[in-house]
Structure 1
Amino acid sequence: MSEPHHRQRRRQLPRGRLLLLAVFLAAAVFAGYHCLFRAPEQKQPDPEPLPQEEVPALSPEEEAAAEALRSHMERKPDFYTILLSGVDDHNGGSDTNILVAVDAANDAIYGASIPRDTKAIINGKAHKINYAYNSGGVGLLADTVSEQLGIPVDYTVQVDLRGFEALVNAIGGVTFNVPVNMDYDDPYQDLHIHFSKGTQKLNGADALKVVRFRHNNDGTGYGSEDIGRMQTQQAFLKAVAKQVLTVSNLGKVDDFVKIFQSYVETDLTVGNLAWLGKEAIAMGADAIAFSTLPNAWKSPYIYLDQEATLALINEHLNPYVEDRVPEDLNIPS
């Protein structure tokens, strides 16, 4: 099979990014992988079971329907969906979940935050979507997200919050614009968050507090609690990406690998990660964008806006060649 056309148009890399490619190569060698760069496999629909006995040939109408279904499930090249979950808020849960679409064919990475209070049907009953992780781990969470949005979750990545803190420290802290004044104390968790609005340098422990903040003790803050927190998380992840993809971090790859091995669980292989890292470096941090699935709050759940969510899926998250249609989604009302 010939190389996809986009490989021919890929822009030449600046010297700094070429050096970073060499670093990712070294990281793969450090991990002991023989196949250094291996594109991930895309999740395909389960094949229909083979018939136990001969069946009559399909009618022309049935053949047309089967071809339409095959076409509807045809996947784009080099397009992957990855569910990124921040785990353990000392309750064994996953309150931060972002569905990331990596479109290597078009140089784009897009993350859509999934509000933790999103209504979902789990094991036949209505729950908030983060219950899926508590009930059945990341597998059930991925299946729940896929069922609602009508698209597959190819891979999952679970990041322990201690790993987040370690990464920020490894890159020397992150300069970040804290969006609101933060004054919160929870003696039960020994959690104390006190930051003034504005740009400041955050170490790992401070960064973790900023991205966990929901509201002040007097109820002020974002005004939208989890939605505001997700926007801050998205902005902070973008700031981290910009800082990680710099020449100044060339000598820290061993540290990054050790952090990853200690605090991250994923079904991506090291070769897959090396390939994805190479692609991300080639794109640059400006290719990364975030949003939150469109929604409205009506106690006790967040309800996804079906029409707006479908539009967002087709614009940024859909791994299929054909647009998804309302019948593909299964969003509870």
Structure 2
Amino acid sequence: MPQTQTPPRHTHRRHRRRSWSRTFLLVLAFLLLVAVVLVGAYRLLVRKPAPDTPSPAASALPAQGQDSASSETPVSTLQRKDGFYTILLSGVDDGNGGSDTNILIGFDADGGSIRGVSIPRDTGVWYQGKARKVNYSSKFGIEVLADTLEDTLGIPVDFTVQVNLRGFEALVDAIDGVDFNVPIDMDYDDPLQDLSIHFQAGMQHLGGADALKVVRFRQNNDGTGYGTQDIGRIATQQAFLKTVAKKMLANPGKIGDYVRIFTDHVDTDLELGELAWLGEQAVRMGLDNLSFETLPGAWSDKRSLYLLDGEAVLSLVNEALNPYETDRAADDLNLVS
């Protein structure tokens, strides 16, 4: 594949507010969307989100190594599904400003499903003509990260949501902690970060601070831990998200706390009325229609990157993330090989 980088194919998103606080497990921000609709004071503000639609000219830009004559995109392929939105949940934890956790949500209100696709932090992407890890592009802000994912996957990112670290702990503490099955023994210390993670495998009751440690864990001091490090950690985060969601919905008396946490700790380009509409739809769909997957690929020692499997990624994009009526094609992807 040639080493020249094309411009991002989607430049349509509305201006995003910047978050000046350190952010982390943004996946929990999505749960807070549910809380907004349950507060009566916001009912009059409910309105359906209206994402900016990419222009045919922008979406027809050739991918890396393609020739423009063969990559023109007919306008008809850009017709969007009604009630389908993509929402990037993203935050940092690595101490260098890079993104540590990214989940791209396919929110299908008409189809009645919410699909979360986790993006491994070492996923290979093209950034300014070079093959980089996706968390590298996030160092330059949420807009750059969203543009990079759009260019990689060939679909627009409609909205973004971030929650800071204090919000994560506050949310878990607001529901008086959760009972969670820690998947493996965790024994890790990092004096530079003043971080100590020590848990035995099995059911544990976790408050906010301990929950944060469990979802941050990658490997033990002796190098053991998850066999696949980031992929194993992603599975733990996904399982934890569902556990928290169940307890949140079982505690409607905590709604005031949820909304306060959302207001204090979440940064998003969604308007309040749009959040309320999404929350209303999420409540209607219920947890049985919430699922998580991970972008398929494999680690490459040669490239020191997690390289995406083109065929499997295309299938997942069309099943879970594509907001268009017409399926995306292999030429719409822009993957590092």
Gaps spanning 5+ residues in structure 2: where?
Answer: 1-32, 59-70
Counterpart position of 2:323:
319
Kindly indicate whether residue 48 of structure 2 is the aligned counterpart of residue 27 of structure 1. Answer: no
Task: Give the whole-Å Cα distance in 1 for the aligned partners of 2:327 and 2:55.
Answer: 20
Kindly indicate whether residue 216 of structure 2 is the aligned counterpart of residue 204 of structure 1. Answer: no
Task: Give the whole-Å Cα distance in 1 for the aligned partners of 2:323 and 2:260.
Answer: 32
Q: Which letter does structure 1 place at the counterpart of 2:79?
A: E
Counterpart position of 1:215:
219
On the 8 A contact 1:28/1:274 being kept in 2, the answer is no
Q: How does 1:185-196 map to 2 (within 5 A)?
A: 185-196=189-200
Counterpart position of 1:56:
none
Of all paired residues, the percent bearing the same amino acid is: 59
On the 8 A contact 1:87/1:159 being kept in 2, the answer is no
Residue 96 of structure 1 aligns to a residue whose secondary structure is strand
Q: Which letter does structure 2 place at the counterpart of 1:108?
A: S
Q: 1:48 to 1:22 in 2, by over 3 A?
A: closer
On the 8 A contact 1:43/1:152 being kept in 2, the answer is no
- Residue 178 of structure 1: which of 178, 182, 193 is its match? 182
Superposition TM-score, scaled by structure 2 size:
0.82
Q: 1:116 to 1:24 in 2, by over 3 A?
A: closer
On the 8 A contact 2:238/2:292 being kept in 1, the answer is yes
On the 8 A contact 1:245/1:285 being kept in 2, the answer is no
Q: 1:114 to 1:23 in 2, by over 3 A?
A: closer
Superposition deviation, residue 120 in structure 1: 1.2
Task: Give the whole-Å Cα distance in 1 for the aligned partners of 2:245 and 2:37.
Answer: 19
Gaps spanning 5+ residues in structure 1: where?
Answer: 1-20, 50-64
Kindly indicate whether residue 249 of structure 2 is the aligned counterpart of residue 245 of structure 1. Answer: yes
Q: 1:24 to 1:162 in 2, by over 3 A?
A: closer
Counterpart position of 1:145:
149
Aligned length in residues: 291
- Residue 297 of structure 1: which of 296, 299, 304 is its match? 299
Task: Give 4+ residue runs of structure 1 displaced > 4 Å after superposition.
Answer: 21-26
Counterpart position of 1:112:
117
Task: Give the whole-Å Cα distance in 2 for the aligned partners of 1:294 and 1:22.
Answer: 29
Cα distance per residue 1:86-114 (max 9 Å; x no partner): 23444333210000111111111111110
Q: Which letter does structure 2 place at the counterpart of 1:69?
A: P
Task: Give the whole-Å Cα distance in 1 for the aligned partners of 2:47 and 2:165.
Answer: 28
Task: Give the whole-Å Cα distance in 2 for the aligned partners of 1:179 and 1:145.
Answer: 30
Superposition deviation, residue 28 in structure 1: 6.3
Superposition deviation, residue 149 in structure 1: 0.5
Counterpart position of 1:40:
49
Q: Which letter does structure 2 place at the counterpart of 1:143?
A: D
Task: Give the whole-Å Cα distance in 2 for the aligned partners of 1:36 and 1:209.
Answer: 37
Superposition deviation, residue 26 in structure 1: 5.5
Superposition deviation, residue 187 in structure 1: 1.1
Q: Which letter does structure 1 place at the counterpart of 2:245?
A: A
Q: Which letter does structure 1 place at the counterpart of 2:236?
A: T
On the 8 A contact 2:37/2:275 being kept in 1, the answer is no
Task: Give the whole-Å Cα distance in 1 for the aligned partners of 2:305 and 2:105.
Answer: 23
For the pair shown, which has the larger CA radius of gyration, 1 or 2?
A: 1
On the 8 A contact 1:87/1:95 being kept in 2, the answer is yes
Task: Give the whole-Å Cα distance in 2 for the aligned partners of 1:28 and 1:71.
Answer: 40
Kindly indicate whether residue 256 of structure 2 is the aligned counterpart of residue 254 of structure 1. Answer: yes
Q: 1:34 to 1:175 in 2, by over 3 A?
A: closer
Q: 1:206 to 1:268 in 2, by over 3 A?
A: same
- Residue 79 of structure 1: which of 84, 90, 100 is its match? 84
Task: Give the whole-Å Cα distance in 2 for the aligned partners of 1:308 and 1:193.
Answer: 35
Superposition deviation, residue 43 in structure 1: 3.2
Q: 1:222 to 1:317 in 2, by over 3 A?
A: same
Task: Say what the alpha-carbon RMSD is for the aligned residues.
Answer: 2.1
Q: Which letter does structure 1 place at the counterpart of 2:266?
A: V
Task: Give the whole-Å Cα distance in 1 for the aligned partners of 2:167 and 2:92.
Answer: 10
Task: Give the whole-Å Cα distance in 2 for the aligned partners of 1:75 and 1:43.
Answer: 11
Superposition TM-score, scaled by structure 1 size:
0.83
Counterpart position of 1:230:
234
Counterpart position of 1:127:
132
